[in-house]
């Protein structure tokens, strides 16, 4: 399967800290790819470089063959790359509906004048895009929350709305930064189900950062492991699970156990 | 999204329309209409400032100056080139929008108090420029007289005629602002206010939209300045000094940030309060003090009371008159039950 996103030999440092060093990952179209690793491994930095918040010091990032290494976040959004954040970044003063409509910002066109006049172009556009947003509201089962300001929602629901806002872009690639962080088991299962459904229903490529190994191993097609800014392993979940470098990165001392077993 | 979520809102708007377009202008004395006219003009300015401060989250203490840009642009075109008022109104708004966007450039890098100071600098620079460049200000007095606006062959001379003239623009501004805020551009403004990082990730070009907010907001300010000019018959920079910028900030803070209704309440409140205070003091003048003492006290006490009332209001209802109004409304919706 061809790669939709190629991360080629990418490095990024902050001051003296090498956050990411020469990491190369190809993300195959239509797959769920997880990036895992201990705290400070550089996972979020990789995500930030894909979405344009940081630009790599070296290396290139290609989206369907086009170089997006130095594009601004808003330009990358136009190429239909959507993402969610580790600490939820919803527009808390606005309703769920407005948040989702904002997700479609780049797909809409009305300018100042047509918005000011509204009746005609802007209204037609609102109605057309509202349809898609309503589909997503049904998909995420948040019908009763439409008019609620997102600031007033419970944590798990806010995560779900944020996923909805990312989906509203009709993304080719969906970047999820710890979508299950801070959730209880039931919420995690719901979220895992949504992620799998998105992938199946719309064929969206998903790049996922997650700490819950159970979830990662269950839903990922492929897993890449970072440690101290280096990629130490990549492959199918089952291969990665038993990879000695990965075990070492997560548990630290492998030697003691080897010694103990003789 | 619908402007009227409930049918009762439609009837209320219709009733208000009858009240303001028929009952009031045909029954009130000219003097009261002149006060109403001041409220109308300030509503437009307050709406504009609220788009920037309340909805987009960018502070400006320069709106008085943007009004003067509109005023002098219109006055110059009116007297030098004899342009009709609709053209001057548009040009005044556009010129203010351009200047406002330039003053807004620092907003890309700085926020909050720092941006406030930057726009304050804009205010002072514009004030100084208009006052000292005679090409703009028209001479030592720094004031330019403009002809009365004309509709067809009718010259608008009386307060009653101006009332309808101004009310038309108020309605356009209110409906336009509501439309703007419920569609793509307005949502992007609020997104920048609430979460600028997330706004960028969903594809909003922050810099462009901040400048756009400055431009639109200043356009309203420019139109406000032009309307002041046509209302008073003269463009004078003293009407647009820093105190005006602060008055308008007071309007939207008292009325409610990020709310169209709040802008209207706030504009009416801040415009009417000094007049109300004066009436109140004149009413008690014979009782507590001699009339002469009161007349001496009025200017000072008016400011003091004005300030005190604003503080009281902000402590009691920090979210402004709009929130107060919503509380009253939801109270009566379920009346006589508690909930």
A261: pLDDT strictly greater than 60: no
Residues in chain B where the model's pLDDT stays below 70: 1, 140, 285-286, 288-289, 339
Residue B286: predicted pLDDT: 66
% of chain A exceeding 90 in pLDDT: 82
Asked whether residue A236 is domain-assigned, the answer is no
Q: Specify the number of domains making up chain A.
A: 1
Asked if residue B320 is part of any domain, the answer here is: no
C-alpha torsion sign, points A16, A21, A22, A23: negative
- Report CB contact under 8 Å: A112, B212: yes
Residue A139: inside a domain: yes
Contact A116 B187 (CB under 8 A): no
Do the Cβ atoms of B183 and A122 come within 8 Å? yes
Residue A258 has pLDDT above 60, yes or no: no
Rounded to whole angstroms, what are the CA distances from A239 to A41, A172, A216, A221, B333?
Answer: 20, 27, 13, 11, 63
Residue carrying the six token digits 């003296």: A16
Per the domain annotation, does A243 fall within a domain? no
Instruction: Give the range of the structural domain holding residue A19, as residue numbers without chain letter.
Output: 3-229
- Whether residue A256 is predicted with pLDDT greater than 70 in this model: the reply is no
Residue A126 located in a structural domain: yes
Q: Which residues of B touch A (CB under 8 A)?
A: 1, 176, 179-180, 182-188, 190-191, 193-195, 197-206, 212, 216, 258
Number of domain units in chain B: 1
Q: Given A89, A106, A109, which is nearest B195 (Cβ)?
A: A89
Whole-angstrom distance, CA of residue A42 vs CA of residue A22: 12
Mean pLDDT calculated for residue range A5-24 = 93
In a domain, A258, yes or no: no
CB-CB under 8 Å, A103 with B185: no
Is A248 inside any structural domain?
no
Q: What is the pLDDT of residue A253?
A: 60
Which CATH number belongs to the domain containing residue A224 in this structure? 3.40.50.300
What domain range is B89 assigned to? 7-258
The tens digit of pLDDT for each residue in A49-98 reads 999 999 999 999 999 999 999 999 999 999 999 999 999 999 999 999 99
Q: In this predicted structure, what is the pLDDT of residue A262?
A: 43
B258 contacts on A by Cβ (under 8 Å): 93
CB–CB contacts below 8 A, A to B: 103
Q: What pLDDT is attached to residue B336? A: 77
Q: Three-class SS of residue A228?
A: coil
Residue burial B309-326, b: 16+ Cβ < 10 Å; e: rest: ebeebeeebebbbbebbe
| Residue B274 covered by a domain | no
| Residue of chain A with shortest Cα separation from B3 | A118
> Is B32 inside any structural domain?
yes
Contacts of A43 (CB under 8 A, 6+ apart): A35, A36, A37, A209, A226
pLDDT at A140: 95
Query: What pLDDT is recorded for position B279?
Result: 83
Of A93, A115, A165, the CB nearest to B185: A115
Q: pLDDT digits over B143-168, tens only?
A: 889 999 988 888 888 999 999 999 99
Contact across the interface for A93 and B258, Cβ inside 8 Å: yes
Residue A67 lies in a domain: yes
**pLDDT > 70: percent of chain A:** 96
pLDDT bucket at A1, cuts 50 / 70 / 90 = low
Residue A259 placed within a domain: no
- The closest CB to that of B216, out of A85, A112, A165, belongs to A112
Tens-place pLDDT, residues B110-141 = 988 999 999 999 999 999 998 888 888 877 67
Which phi and psi angles does B16 have, rounded to 5°? -65, -40
What pLDDT, on the 0 to 100 scale, is given for residue A130?
Answer: 95
Q: Record the tokens describing residue B36, joined without a space.
A: 């109403």
Q: How far apart are CA A220 and CA A233, in angstroms?
A: 15
Burial A78-104 (b: 16+ CB within 10 A, else e): ebbbbbbbeebbbbebbbbbbbbbbbb
- Domain for residue B333, yes or no? no
Contact B198 A89 (CB under 8 A): yes
């Amino acid at each position: 399967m061809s790669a939709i996103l190629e991360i080629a030999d990418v490095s990024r440092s902050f001051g003296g800290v090498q956050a990411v060093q020469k990491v190369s990952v190809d993300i195959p179209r239509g797959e769920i790819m997880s990036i895992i690793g201990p705290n400070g491994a550089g996972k979020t930095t990789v995500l930030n470089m894909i979405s344009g918040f940081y630009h790599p010091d070296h290396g290139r990032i290609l989206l369907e063959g086009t170089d997006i290494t130095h594009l601004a976040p808003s330009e990358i959004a136009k190429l239909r790359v959507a993402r969610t954040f580790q600490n939820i970044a919803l527009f808390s003063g606005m309703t769920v509906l407005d948040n989702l409509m904002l997700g479609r910002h780049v797909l809409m066109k009305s300018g100042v004048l047509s918005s000011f006049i509204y009746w005609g172009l802007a209204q037609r556009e609102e109605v057309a895009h509202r349809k898609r947003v309503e589909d997503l509201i049904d998909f995420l089962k948040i019908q009763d929350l439409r008019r609620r300001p997102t600031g007033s929602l419970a944590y798990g629901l806010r995560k779900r709305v944020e996923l909805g806002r990312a989906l509203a872009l009709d993304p080719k690639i969906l970047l999820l930064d710890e979508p299950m962080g801070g959730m209880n088991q039931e919420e995690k299962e719901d979220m895992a189900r949504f992620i799998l459904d998105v992938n199946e229903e719309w064929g969206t490529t998903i790049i996922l950062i997650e700490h819950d190994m159970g979830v990662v191993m269950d839903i990922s097609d492929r897993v890449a492991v970072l440690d101290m800014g280096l990629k130490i392993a990549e492959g199918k979940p089952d291969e990665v699970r038993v990879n000695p470098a990965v075990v070492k990165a997560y548990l630290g001392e492998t030697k003691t156990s080897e010694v103990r077993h003789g | 999204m619908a402007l009227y979520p409930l049918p009762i809102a439609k009837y209320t708007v219709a009733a208000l329309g009858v009240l303001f377009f028929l009952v009031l202008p045909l029954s009130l004395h000219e003097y009261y209409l002149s006060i109403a006219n001041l409220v109308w003009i300030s509503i437009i300015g307050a709406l504009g400032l609220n788009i920037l401060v309340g909805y987009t989250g960018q502070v400006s203490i320069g709106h008085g100056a943007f009004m003067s840009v509109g005023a002098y642009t219109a006055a110059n075109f009116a007297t030098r080139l004899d342009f009709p008022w609709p053209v001057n109104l548009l040009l005044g708004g556009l010129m203010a929008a351009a200047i406002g966007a330039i003053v807004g450039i620092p907003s890309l890098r700085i926020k909050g108090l720092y941006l406030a100071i930057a726009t304050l600098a804009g205010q002072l620079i514009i004030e100084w420029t208009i006052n000292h460049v005679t090409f703009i200000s028209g001479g030592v007095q720094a004031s330019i007289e403009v002809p009365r606006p004309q509709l067809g062959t009718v010259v608008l001379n009386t307060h009653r005629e101006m009332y309808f003239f101004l009310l038309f623009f108020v309605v356009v501004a209110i409906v336009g602002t509501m439309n703007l805020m419920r569609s793509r551009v307005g949502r992007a403004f609020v997104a920048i206010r609430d979460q600028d990082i997330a706004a960028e990730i969903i594809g909003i070009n922050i810099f462009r939209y901040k400048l756009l907010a400055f431009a639109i907001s200043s356009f309203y300010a420019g139109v406000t300045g032009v309307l002041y000019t046509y209302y008073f018959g003269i463009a004078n920079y003293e009407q647009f000094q820093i105190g005006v910028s602060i008055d308008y900030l007071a309007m939207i803070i008292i009325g409610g940030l990020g709310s169209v209704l709040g802008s209207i309440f706030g504009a009416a409140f801040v415009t009417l309060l000094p007049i109300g205070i004066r009436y109140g003091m004149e009413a008690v003048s014979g009782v507590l003090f001699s009339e002469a003492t009161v007349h001496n006290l009025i200017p000072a006490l008016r400011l003091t009371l004005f300030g005190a009332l604003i503080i009281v209001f902000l402590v009691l209802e920090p979210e402004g008159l709009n929130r107060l109004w919503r509380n009253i409304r939801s109270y009566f919706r379920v009346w006589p039950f508690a909930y």
